Amino acid sequence: MKKLLMATAASALVMGAAAQAEDIKLGIIVGFTGPIESLTPSMADAAELAMKEVTDSGLLLGGSTVTSVRGDSTCIDSGAATAVAERQITSDGVKGIVGADCSGVTGAILSNVALPNGIVMISPSATSPALSTVEDNGLFFRTAPSDARQGVVMTEVLMEQGINEVAVTYTNNDYGKGLADAFEAAFVAAGGSVTINAAHEDGKADYSAEVGALASAGGDRLVVAGYIDQGGSGIVRAALDSGAFDTFHFPDGMISSALEANFGSEVDGSTGQHPGTDSEGASAFTDMVAGAFDTSSPFTPESYDAAALIMLAMQAAGSSDSADYKNKVMDVANAPGELILPGELGKALKILADGGEIDYVGATAVELIGGGESAGNYRQIKVEGGKIETVKYR
Amino acid sequence: MDFLNAIVAFANFVLVPATSYGAQLALGALGVTLIYGILRFSNFAHGDTMAFGAMVTILVTWWFQSMGINFGVLPTALLALPFGIIATIGLLLFTDRVVYRFYRRQKAAPVIYVIVSLGVMFIMNGVVRFIIGPNDQKFADGVRFIISARDFKTMTGLSEGLAIKASTGITIVTAIIVVAALFWFLNRTRTGKSMRAFSDNEDLALLSGINPERVVMITWIIVAALTTIAGVLYGLDKSFKPFTYFQLLLPIFAAAIVGGLGNPLGAIAGGFVIAFSEVTVTYAFKKVLKYLLPENLEPTGLVQLLSTDYKFAVSFAILIIVLLFRPTGLFKGKTI
């Protein structure tokens, strides 16, 4: 009996040691094809940068390495996205998912794959307010703020410029509808009026009918809650061509270098905002990347933070099992503890290994509130001389 | 002044877009109707033939642009158009030789032809995506506007602008030329007459010594020219994306059937009927009415019959109404 106990204890020890240094796989599920395909390459690069940093430090769970498994969420096709997530979890054996990107597919993966399999998901860019209240068993977090917050920020930006009447068009999906409704609620509450709040379908050749209805409703500015690589551009093009609107307001899905390339100075005077910050972390992140990819592209710093949070939570829990580390995500993201900037993941891992506490700041001044979503800092932009310029941060 | 503003707003958002859309649909529907009249089947591969022709034209356009050849104020694509037509003629004659001729010799039922053309459609669909990819392609150059909204406002002093894109002007002018040439060909030339004879009564045409293979070949050549022109004009005016050409199939068929299948005049009328109803029914008339009505009668709502999401539904509603009450179409065509 004694021998058996000894043997069991010994084998448990051996297994424990084996679990100490493993190769941890993390899924990255973003839309490499689809309506935000011009944003996603730098998002994935940022997430992988965090994984490389952790692997190189050799401090995670006794020297574990982290490798990424990329998957294409397509941004719009829930079926394809859940299939990718299913494959990553069951066949690749990922321990956590950075993603997904768009709100619709994120909700689909969460309820169909992540929840049944008990895998943690941290989305860098899903912003639909509906995801705040979705059933997630504590598995879902996001480093992007809810659009309920973006609606308020948009209202402030427009009101400060004395614009009280706008037309709104949104892409017909969870993201567009959520943002448009949040904005309308905030804008009307602040005393503005929304003349029309109409959907547009992505992937059409011709948006003149949609723009006709928007123009008829009128307004000082057209708010385009769409995607730059899709219908959003079509709407702006048709509105410019028919002279219906000269200036626009662009939320996060519309702001990318493609906006400058497609329209240049034609949209001068337009405004917009996307999640972003000028915190110490943001500049540290830009310095660290050193031009390998564009760090001012929307949701790129958020992606770094999402990957970093998963790995730090693993370290805090002493386990790469989602069921163990899901409760630690909020702990490492928020106070109390030592402040951690990008590039300091090694230091953070060491503190956690020694039993200390950290407050992860990261590239986007991460502060998780409510059901595990970012409180939200925004970069306000304007288009001037065909270039996107930063006005200020909110 | 208010009255003028109302007219201009209406023209800008309804008249001009619907006219150019109607011209594009009419050109597409002409091709469908010719095939139906002479080869006696509904060619589902029509939309993708348009995409193929437009694709070849785009590739040649890019080649010209890289060599610095351009067409002055007109888009370079017009120079490249003949190359697109030639390639499309080649493709259609090749398809006829390897696919349709087999079924023609078998005297296959029309429904088999339809399914065969569906297969051809999927292959062309794939070929186009394989060569140029599924994304939006830009190839328009030259002057963008005949008159832009801003210029119109400063010129006339009205508060409403009227924008006419160069591509809209080109579409309408080209459509008129093509339709005139087609009717001249069908009504005045010997070959055209033999085609009409073949369409009216195949056996009688064969007895009077008309060579059927020749009629079939000429039909495909004309259809290739029509589809390529329609495809390029649509791409110039809107944007080139293979999937949107596939979607165009529905309004094009609606136009051909509403006008009366097999009747070229009907195809043109059908194209405009569909285009105008799609645009007018989904337009919000608030702006126009605001100018026309006295202040106390101004509408508070949008005065929009249907949301723009239902654009396609409009063409189908018309299609069903026409099929129910006048199965031969507005102009006397063949029943399906």
For A23-145+282-333, which CATH class?
alpha beta
Q: Over its length of 336 residues, how does chain B's per-residue pLDDT go in tens digits?
A: 788 888 888 888 889 989 999 999 999 999 999 999 888 888 999 999 999 999 999 999 999 999 888 888 888 999 999 999 999 999 999 999 999 999 988 888 888 999 999 999 999 999 998 999 887 888 888 888 888 888 888 888 888 888 888 889 999 999 999 999 999 999 999 999 999 888 888 888 889 888 989 999 999 999 999 999 999 999 988 888 888 888 888 889 999 999 888 888 899 999 999 999 988 888 888 878 878 888 777 777 777 777 777 887 888 888 888 889 888 888 876 654
| A8 pLDDT above the threshold of 60 | no
Which residues numbered 146-205 in A keep a CB inside 8 Å of some CB on B? 172, 196, 198-201, 203-205
Residue A204: the pLDDT is 80
Which residues in chain A touch residue B162, judged by CB atoms under 8 angstroms apart? 243
Helix (H) or strand (E) holding B53: helix B46-67
Residue A221 backbone class (left: φ over 0; alpha: ψ -120 to 50; beta: rest):
beta
Contact A222, A163 (CB under 8 A): no
Residue A275 backbone class (left: φ over 0; alpha: ψ -120 to 50; beta: rest):
beta
As a 3-state breakdown, chain B gives helix, strand, coil percent values, each rounded to 5, of 75, 5, 20
Which residues numbered 159-198 in B keep a CB inside 8 Å of some CB on A? 161-163, 165
Residue A335: the pLDDT is 80
- Give the dihedral sign, CA A75/A80/A86/A89: negative
Please name the residue that has the structure tokens 């709040």: A197
CA distances B169 to A142, A269, B58, B76, Å, are 50, 30, 20, 15
At residue A108, the 3 state secondary structure works out as helix
Residue A238 is encoded by which pair of tokens?
A: 């048709």
Residue of A nearest to B236 (CA): A205
CB-CB under 8 Å, A210 with B308: yes
Contact A143, A302 (CB under 8 A): yes
CB-CB under 8 Å, A242 with B308: no
Q: How far is CA B82 from the centre of its chain?
A: 18
Q: How far is CA B279 from the centre of its chain?
A: 16
For residue B130, the one-letter residue type is F
**ipTM of the complex model:** 0.78
Please name the residue that has the structure tokens 């800092």: A377
Which residues in chain B touch residue A210, judged by CB atoms under 8 angstroms apart? 308
Helices (H), chain A: 2-20, 40-57, 78-87, 103-109, 115-117, 147-160, 174-189, 208-217, 231-241, 257-263, 280-289, 300-317, 322-325, 329-333, 345-353
Please write down the long-range contacts of A383-390, taking CB distance under 8 Å and 24 or more positions apart: A383/A259, A383/A260, A383/A265, A383/A267, A383/A268, A383/A269, A383/A270, A383/A271, A383/A272, A384/A268, A384/A269, A385/A265, A385/A268, A386/A260, A386/A263, A386/A264, A386/A265, A386/A266, A386/A268, A387/A260, A388/A255, A388/A259, A388/A260, A388/A272
CB-CB under 8 Å, A204 with B302: no
Beta strand A23-30 with A96-99 is parallel
CB-CB under 8 Å, B150 with A243: yes
Residue B127: what are its φ and ψ, rounded to 5°? -60, -45
Which residues in chain A touch residue B14, judged by CB atoms under 8 angstroms apart? 212
CB-CB under 8 Å, B307 with A216: no
Decide if B40 touches A, using CB distance below 8 A.
no
Contact B235, B244 (CB under 8 A): no
CB-CB under 8 Å, A212 with B17: yes
In chain A, domain spans? 23-145+282-333
CA distance A357 to B121: 63
- What pTM was estimated for this model as a whole? 0.75
At residue A194, the 3 state secondary structure works out as strand
Which residues in chain B touch residue A199, judged by CB atoms under 8 angstroms apart? 307, 309
Residue A9: the pLDDT is 53
Helix (H) or strand (E) holding A198: strand A193-200
Question: Which residue in A244, A87, A93, A220 sits closest to A161, CA to CA?
Answer: A220
Question: Which comes out higher in pLDDT, residue A281 or A21?
Answer: A281
Cβ contacts of residue A87 below 8 Å, gap of 6+?
A: A71
